[in-house]
Amino acid sequence: MKNKIRVALKSVLFSPLILFSLPSHSQQLNTSTQLLDSMRIAVPEMANRSISFTNKESAYYYTQSHQTNHQEYAWFEGMNIAKNRVFGGYNLFADGRLLSNQNAQVWVYPYKMVREHLGQISEELWMIDYKNIIEVSLTGPKQSIGIALKGKGIRYVNTIGDMAFFTPVEGKYVIAVSSKIEQSIQVQDLQVITSAKAGGFYIAVGKTNEEAIALIRETRAHNLALKSERAKRMQDLLTNKVYTTSGNDSLAVALNWLEITTDQLLTHQQGYGIYAGLPWFNEYWGRDEFISLPGAALVTGQFAVAKKILQSFAKYQQIDPASKYFGRVPNIVNPSNIDYHTTDGTPRFIIGLQDYVKYSGDVSLIKELYPNVKNSIEGALKYWVDDKGYLLHEDNETWMDARDANLVSYSPRGSRANDIQALWYKQLLAGVYFARYMKDATNEQKWQRMADKVKSNFAKDYTDANHSYLADRLTKEGKADFTLRPNQLFALDMISNTGLKGQVLSKTWQELVYPWGVATLDKHDPFFHPFHLTNDYPKDEAYHNGTIWPWLNGIAMQRMIEAEQAETAYQLFKNMNWQALNLGVVGGLGENLDAFPHKGQKWPKLTGAYLQAWSNAEQLRVWYQYFLGIRPDMTNHQLVLAPRIPAEVTDLHYNFFAGNELYKASYEGGKMQTYTYQFGPTPLTTVVDIYPYAINKLDVAPNSILQIIVADNELTLKMQNKQGKVLQQVKTTPSKTRISQDGLYQQQLEHIQFAKPDDLSNHKVIKDLLQ
């Protein structure tokens, strides 16, 4: 089976990641960028990839490497601030000649973009953290340089001193353009011209002329410091909190890029939050926010940011007991709207709070947000829970929320979707956890009874003798709808039958999980749509009816690893890393892909948002929590270590955070596998789970080193102090009980394969069979 998978992968992956060394034309920064510079990616002209940066507040800049012509994203070229397109990029001129990007050599770094024009002119694009300004450096011209803003509505207003002012495309903003150093300028047909000695331009955006002027002056005065701070922030993240090195270079590079492109979506637009995705979703979505939180902020050790995100979103909770949305957190928070039409955002908010507390050990937030926890559960019980304990919702109030012009759902999932019940169950258990801490025995018992009721009824109502998988929903009439969708992967914890779990996972993987990601509908369903973006039907009709969503890969891989199929899961993980490095936006994962490749292609077309938070975050979450197996519960001073590192990865060195401490770990593979963990001064208990050996608990001495060795069918746990003195040693052989319990899983999943596209003629929604 492994050979079949490898052959299949070789047939779909086109070209390797291209990394080039490049002489730097930048002024030397006040910080090391060695790691960041090693991550630079060269973009060939034919790839014409999306490139995107944010300022970590409310602005992002979008362009393509060679020609900004994407049918959906080109509209957003240039700087966008708080849902407004401010200007549509720029054209550059050297000694009076327009520089064409189409013939440029392009390199993308985590912190900047570089274009080499005509073999001798270098362009650098920078954003600055928390400031609405970009720097465009231009070195190489002999006499003059020029820049012209693009975009409908851009109009020259006047010149004040050495700064030219323009109107924006959208929004109540003022755009100021100046040279990098104080130089006189001329404006001719929207082009700002200055001496080549100026070295480039600033483009600043403010609410007033005075604000834009002040921003340029500040950036001129502190240019090196501001750029160094931006680069240092990224370098520190990668060399401290999420440090990873491996002999498998593409693994480490992909993880580092995913960390960077995820981190740029952690912003401060309306309080702290996570942009759902770019270009359209530069706003906070309750559902997306808390799906993304573990991978974006918790596994990366950014607990202070995670806390602020939870506190910020709690302020938007509906607290009017007379509202049917009482207790809900919003679906969308943006500068002009707050919307509560989502059911799963609220459970994920409460689950996210519990995840934060377990990772950080910060119980103070329990006390602060316990009223929000109570509101979230009591509001649901008052307005949305039926007599079986199920959480009710409308057709469009799950994550599959697309509707037509008449507000009719394309993928109706009311009134009791399986994933909603699983989330509701976890929300109730999180409530029990918080109530116990708050010594609120009444609610602890009440919520536990409700959780037990939901789980008991679920096992009966969502299964039957005729299906080897779970019903996707119960309709308003109480009928089980067995449309085959991936949502059941979230609900596997609701059933106890190991045999049925294996059947569900086998069926779901082989019918819905392609080498490029998880489809939203079984291809045998008459409403399956092979392509997301086509002339044959409206885009949203396909959105949740076949289209691939990479964020679903996280739960699919998690379930495979839980079933001791890490090698199978890693094939999908590796493919997504390859995509981040070679396709679409540089260094990140987008929102969607077509379910099937187009005729003559080996990989499906990328669609939807070019950078999606939960796609990136779930890739990172499953790496840390399930491949590395790091699952802290610092409120109970416990750390689970359950690594499932695939055979292809033979060496790793990495860091992770739990509580207030940085932990360092390493792994060496081969015939003998060695896992090493360095602990800090805080005493805790480790739970060591390495299949097929018995699970062991060890009390960790402060500042000790735990070494786990697997060799010759024996597991050795050795605890040492820093001087090498052995404090504890445990040896164990494979557990017959675990092997017996997992035997059925192994039989069901041993030869599992990815789903495969079929012929377009099988799908009535397709009119053009040649696409």
DSSP helix/strand/coil, 155:
coil
Kindly report the backbone phi and psi dihedral angles of residue 290, in degrees, each rounded to the nearest multiple of 5, phi listed first.
-95, -15
Overall average pLDDT of the 494-513 stretch = 96
Going by C-alpha positions, the residue among 388, 531, 521, 410 that lies closest to residue 455 is: 388
- Distance of alpha carbon 187 from alpha carbon 177, whole angstroms: 10
- Asked if residue 90 is part of any domain, the answer here is yes
Residues 586 and 716 in one domain: no
What is the residue type of 495?
Answer: I
Percent of the chain with pLDDT over 90: 94
CB neighbour class for 223 (10 Å; exposed up to 12, middle 13-18, buried from 19): middle
Which pairing describes strands 696-700 and 726-732: parallel, antiparallel, or unpaired? unpaired
Residue 551 lies in domain: 498-618+742-771
Answer with the one of 196, 213, 234 that is the final residue of a domain.
Answer: 234
Per-residue confidence at 25, pLDDT binned at 50, 70, 90?
Answer: very low
- First-to-last alpha carbon distance for the chain, in angstroms, is 31
What does pLDDT average to over the chain? 95
Going by C-alpha positions, the residue among 128, 608, 58, 618 that lies closest to residue 333 is: 58
Residues 663 and 758 in one domain: no
pLDDT in tens, 652-683: 999 999 999 999 999 999 999 999 999 999 99
Would you say residue 744 has pLDDT above 90? Answer: no
Going by C-alpha positions, the residue among 344, 324, 482 that lies closest to residue 421 is: 344
pLDDT in tens, 59-77: 999 999 999 999 999 999 9
Overall average pLDDT of the 396-420 stretch = 97
Do residues 656 and 666 make contact, with C-beta atoms less than 8 angstroms apart? no
* 225 vs 248, residue with greater confidence: 225
- Distance of alpha carbon 224 from alpha carbon 235, whole angstroms: 16
- Distance of alpha carbon 71 from alpha carbon 48, whole angstroms: 13
- Distance of alpha carbon 492 from alpha carbon 487, whole angstroms: 10
Would you say residue 1 has pLDDT above 60? Answer: no
pLDDT in tens, 508-545: 999 999 999 999 999 999 999 999 999 999 999 999 99
Number of domains in the chain: 3
Extract the tokens encoding 615. 């796609």
- Distance of alpha carbon 652 from alpha carbon 395, whole angstroms: 45
Overall average pLDDT of the 80-84 stretch = 97
Overall average pLDDT of the 709-730 stretch = 96
Do residues 274 and 283 make contact, with C-beta atoms less than 8 angstroms apart? no
* pLDDT on residue 11: 37
Would you say residue 19 has pLDDT above 80? Answer: no
Residues 75 and 196 in one domain: yes
Residues 65 and 204 in one domain: yes
CB atoms within 10 A of CB 452: 14
Answer with the one of 234, 257, 279 that is the final residue of a domain.
Answer: 234
Tokens 């948002």 correspond to 609
Extract the tokens encoding 80. 């966008």
Overall average pLDDT of the 333-345 stretch = 92
Tokens 């550059």 correspond to 92
Would you say residue 750 has pLDDT above 90? Answer: no
Would you say residue 12 has pLDDT above 50? Answer: no
Residues 575 and 654 in one domain: no
**Domain containing residue 158: CATH number:** 2.70.98
Per-residue confidence at 2, pLDDT binned at 50, 70, 90?
Answer: very low
pTM of the model: 0.96
- Cα Dmax for the chain: 81
DSSP helix/strand/coil, 176:
strand
Residues 224 and 92 in one domain: yes
* pLDDT on residue 743: 81
Angle formed by the axes of helices 223-236 and 209-221, nearest 10°: 80
- Distance of alpha carbon 566 from alpha carbon 556, whole angstroms: 11
DSSP helix/strand/coil, 304:
helix
Going by C-alpha positions, the residue among 377, 364, 359 that lies closest to residue 428 is: 377
Residues 114 and 137 in one domain: yes
Overall average pLDDT of the 323-331 stretch = 96
- Distance of alpha carbon 133 from alpha carbon 190, whole angstroms: 19
Sheet holding 78-81, edge to edge: 50-54, 59-64, 78-81, 84-87
- Asked if residue 327 is part of any domain, the answer here is no
- Asked if residue 342 is part of any domain, the answer here is no
* pLDDT on residue 27: 64
- Asked if residue 761 is part of any domain, the answer here is yes
Kindly report the backbone phi and psi dihedral angles of residue 476, in degrees, each rounded to the nearest multiple of 5, phi listed first.
-60, -25
* pLDDT on residue 702: 95
Per-residue confidence at 402, pLDDT binned at 50, 70, 90?
Answer: very high
The secondary structure of 330-367 as a DSSP string is PSEEETTEEE---SSHHHHHHHHHHHHHHHH--THHHH
* pLDDT on residue 460: 97
The secondary structure of 622-667 as a DSSP string is HIIIIIS-EEEEGGGTEEEE-----TT--EEEEEEEETTEEEEEEE
Extract the tokens encoding 638. 């416990």
pLDDT in tens, 259-303: 999 999 999 999 999 999 999 999 999 999 999 999 999 999 999
pLDDT in tens, 128-137: 999 999 999 9
Residues 64 and 190 in one domain: yes
Angle, alpha carbons 241-247-250 (nearest 5°): 75
- Asked if residue 532 is part of any domain, the answer here is yes
Would you say residue 13 has pLDDT above 50? Answer: no
Residues 88 and 191 in one domain: yes
- Distance of alpha carbon 82 from alpha carbon 285, whole angstroms: 14
Going by C-alpha positions, the residue among 502, 650, 639 that lies closest to residue 564 is: 502
pLDDT in tens, 107-142: 999 999 999 999 999 999 999 999 999 999 999 999
- DSSP, res 746: H
pLDDT in tens, 182-206: 999 999 999 999 999 999 999 999 9
- Distance of alpha carbon 99 from alpha carbon 66, whole angstroms: 11
Extract the tokens encoding 181. 């150093």
DSSP helix/strand/coil, 282:
strand
Going by C-alpha positions, the residue among 558, 556, 737 that lies closest to residue 631 is: 558
* pLDDT on residue 8: 37
Would you say residue 16 has pLDDT above 50? Answer: no
Extract the tokens encoding 408. 């009719």
- Asked if residue 527 is part of any domain, the answer here is yes
Going by C-alpha positions, the residue among 13, 86, 553 that lies closest to residue 282 is: 86
Residues 518 and 580 in one domain: yes
Extract the tokens encoding 251. 């693994």
- Distance of alpha carbon 136 from alpha carbon 159, whole angstroms: 20
C-alpha distances in Å from residue 610, one per residue of 128, 266, 396, 416: 22, 16, 24, 31
**Per DSSP, what are the bridge partners of residue 717?**
708, 730
Overall average pLDDT of the 489-497 stretch = 97
- Distance of alpha carbon 457 from alpha carbon 711, whole angstroms: 45
Extract the tokens encoding 107. 């390199």
Answer with the one of 219, 234, 249 that is the final residue of a domain.
Answer: 234
Q: What share of the chain is helix, strand, coil (3-state, %, to 5)?
A: 35, 25, 40
Determine if the peptide bond prior to 412 is cis (ω within 30°). Answer: no
- Distance of alpha carbon 228 from alpha carbon 222, whole angstroms: 10
Going by C-alpha positions, the residue among 65, 265, 190, 195 that lies closest to residue 203 is: 190
- Asked if residue 672 is part of any domain, the answer here is yes
- Asked if residue 205 is part of any domain, the answer here is yes
Question: In whole angstroms, what separates CA 647 from the centre of its chain?
Answer: 25
Residues 655 and 511 in one domain: no
Extract the tokens encoding 229. 């701070």
Residues 36 and 152 in one domain: yes
Extract the tokens encoding 743. 């035997």
